[in-house]
Structure 1
Amino acid sequence: MRVVLLGPPGAGKGTQAQIIAGKLGVPAISTGDIFRANVSGRTELGQQAKTYMDAGDLVPDEITVAMVRDRLAEPDAEVGFLLDGFPRTIAQAEQLRESLAELGTGLDRVLELVVEEEELVRRLSGRRMLVDGKMVQREDDKPETVRHRLEVHREQTAPLSDFYEAEGLLVTIGAVGSVEEVTARAMAALGRA
């Protein structure tokens, strides 16, 4: 099973990616993990990405897509994978489709975790971290910042959802409830794939 997991910040993608991938017996692959592996492994792509990251710039699509393509060509991904955090744009989705075609495969399903904005703001602005023995709120988890992050996500992802819907791959899943309830909905949707 080859799956892409979409959803806004705070929807539980990271948690669900690990659980669903485990149930499917495929690797959960996040772009963050791919970047870290390439940078720490000092690959050519990792060195290119590091130049942009060190400057505080976004890594260009061609480098990101090349790293993802390399990761999807690894033996553990032959039986399938769950992509978390990629693609983020239509251009990346089109490049992913081309890369998978070169590998002789394609996506089976795109799962989108859906949560009302107010619930996302509540979840994200309620997060705390321990700093110098005190629980503090991260700057990017303040309600006004969360709303901005959600707006940016909406601008980028709404077209992506439409793209995958047009391809007949998109299934939306309500991501409110217990972790187990959301997982059950996701697995039921994949069972229909």
Structure 2
Amino acid sequence: MDAANRPLLVPPDFATYAEKNGIFDMYKRLLQQLLIHKPDDPLPFLVDLLKRDNDDVPQIVLLGPPASGKRTIAKSICNKLRTAHITAENLVAEAEVELRNEAQSYLDKGQEIPLELWRNILKERMSLFDCVKKGWVMEGFPCTREQAQVFQAIGVNPTHCVLLDAPDTVLVERASGKRVDTETGDIYHTTFDWPSSTEIQSRLEEVPGYSEEAVISKLESYHRHIDGIKRCYEKVIKVINADQPKADVFAQVFSYLTTIPRSVAPHTPRVILLGPTGSGKGVQAALLANKYNIVKVSCGQLIKQAVADESKPGLAAKTYLEKSMQVPDSIVLTILRERLAQLDCVSRGWVLHGYPLSREQAEQLDRAGFTPNRVFFLNVPNDSVVERLTLRATDHLTGERYHMLYNPPRSQEVKERLRCHPKDREESVRGRLATYYTFQEELNDYYLEAQHINADQDPHTVFENIESMIVNPLPKQYDR
């Protein structure tokens, strides 16, 4: 086949299906579990993993010094996500009898539980239904780098690690007012978090081991080990200032938990830029294409090129263009499909602007197999759009474009040569704005995960906002 005359068209279905269903991430996860567990018979082991209804469960480690609010935040996270709450204490208390008795014997002697015993206890706990199906939040554990390494060796690798941090003086002050509910184990504070119920107040007692001397001793131990633990979780850790109101701390923690770590799985950018005329879609598409070597696809330019090439859909479109009529969706989609299915678009990815203009067109694009993985609305006030477009003009001798406000001509001679395109007259601009807003709401409803960008600012600032949402996964929506 002569690629110059008839470019190779690649069906987009495989890449779209694989990305939508996480095929590459699934391969990575299965191989990772094989290397960790090294089963004697790999096939039944892999089948068992694939039978799990949900592999994408929260796996969170919450660390911090004493009195930093770990218990309060951990319980809030568990209530929000309905996950298992794991601590060093309940790991021992809920272990099977033989493991529990062995661990308790060390605790009774005032000795540390050996790493191998912790390994067996945690391995047994992580195999239970609640951890497998709902996920877990591990509070204040591991306590040392050695424990963290043992946990990693058995496959206990958190997707998120949160470290609550505060000055030691603040922590000592907090500890002195700390009280515990003897029935529920909930933590309160005489100054910052006193319960309104008199019944709960009557049950509160001082927390054992939280005298000033005891807290200082615990802080010394914490600072001795925390740097080693942080190195184990350096790719997933987030340090959050705990010296602020509890609601603010939780909001920051939960915001971090909704982020998704970058995946090394193959990813082909398929980006759609939507917005009113003059919002800078073409500029942003060019910036993305230049930096990331993806294909810039302008629907308007494609139609013009098809007409110039006198292709079959181009000749069909020409009839409508000559009569200043809108080209039917079927013809536009045919032209667009031929371009997006070419090898460069499939292999490198694409950024599309000028299409879709309505929900119907968006649905047709999806049915054709070209489902975007990022959609951006570039929002600009109408007055700014009118200012951008009506004040621009072109020098017909040099072809250079000017803007009377942002890029005025340097000489009167050039200024006198400038010509304004008929489509940039105010009535024409406002007509195109009205057309865009007619369909904007239905496009918003269709692309529910689209990101809205304030495009009424410097183009490179807009580009940085778009870029940050392309290179990083979008936040996770927890439907719990």
Same fold (TM over 0.5): yes
Higher helix share: 1
Q: In structure 1, what is the Cα distance between the partners aligned to 2:437 and 2:321? A: 24
CA deviation digits over 1:8-40, x for unaligned, max 9?
A: 111111111111122222101011221122222
Residue in 2 that maps onto 1:135: 418
Residue in 2 that maps onto 1:174: 454
* TM-score computed with the length of structure 2 as normaliser: 0.37
Residue in 2 that maps onto 1:162: 445
Structure 1 unpaired stretches of 5+: none
Query: More deviation in 175-184 or 143-152?
Result: 143-152
CA deviation digits over 1:52-76, x for unaligned, max 9?
A: 1122221110010111111111011
Q: In structure 2, what is the Cα distance between the partners aligned to 1:117 and 1:57? A: 25
CA change 1:113–1:95 in 2 (3 A) is same
Instruction: Kindly indicate whether residue 311 of structure 2 is the aligned counterpart of residue 46 of structure 1.
Output: no
**SS of structure 2 residue aligned to 1:5:** strand
* TM-score computed with the length of structure 1 as normaliser: 0.88
Q: In structure 1, what is the Cα distance between the partners aligned to 2:311 and 2:396? A: 34
CA change 1:68–1:173 in 2 (3 A) is same
CA deviation digits over 1:84-112, x for unaligned, max 9?
A: 10111111111100111xxxx63101011
Higher relative contact order (CA 8 A, sep 6+): 1
Instruction: Kindly indicate whether residue 327 of structure 2 is the aligned counterpart of residue 59 of structure 1.
Output: yes
Q: In structure 2, what is the Cα distance between the partners aligned to 1:136 and 1:97? A: 40
Instruction: Kindly indicate whether residue 306 of structure 2 is the aligned counterpart of residue 26 of structure 1.
Output: no
Instruction: Kindly indicate whether residue 371 of structure 2 is the aligned counterpart of residue 91 of structure 1.
Output: no
Residue in 2 that maps onto 1:75: 343
Instruction: Kindly indicate whether residue 376 of structure 2 is the aligned counterpart of residue 106 of structure 1.
Output: no
The ranges of structure 1 where at least 4 consecutive aligned residues each deviate by more than 6 angstroms after the TM superposition are: none
Report the alpha carbon displacement of residue 131 of structure 1 after superposing the two structures with TM. 5.3
- Give the percent of matched residue pairs that are identical in Structure 1 and Structure 2: 32
How many residues were matched structurally? 186
Structure 2 unpaired stretches of 5+: 1-268, 398-415, 474-480
Q: In structure 2, what is the Cα distance between the partners aligned to 1:25 and 1:136? A: 34
**SS of structure 2 residue aligned to 1:78:** helix
Q: In structure 2, what is the Cα distance between the partners aligned to 1:9 and 1:134? A: 25
Max radius of gyration: which structure?
Answer: 2
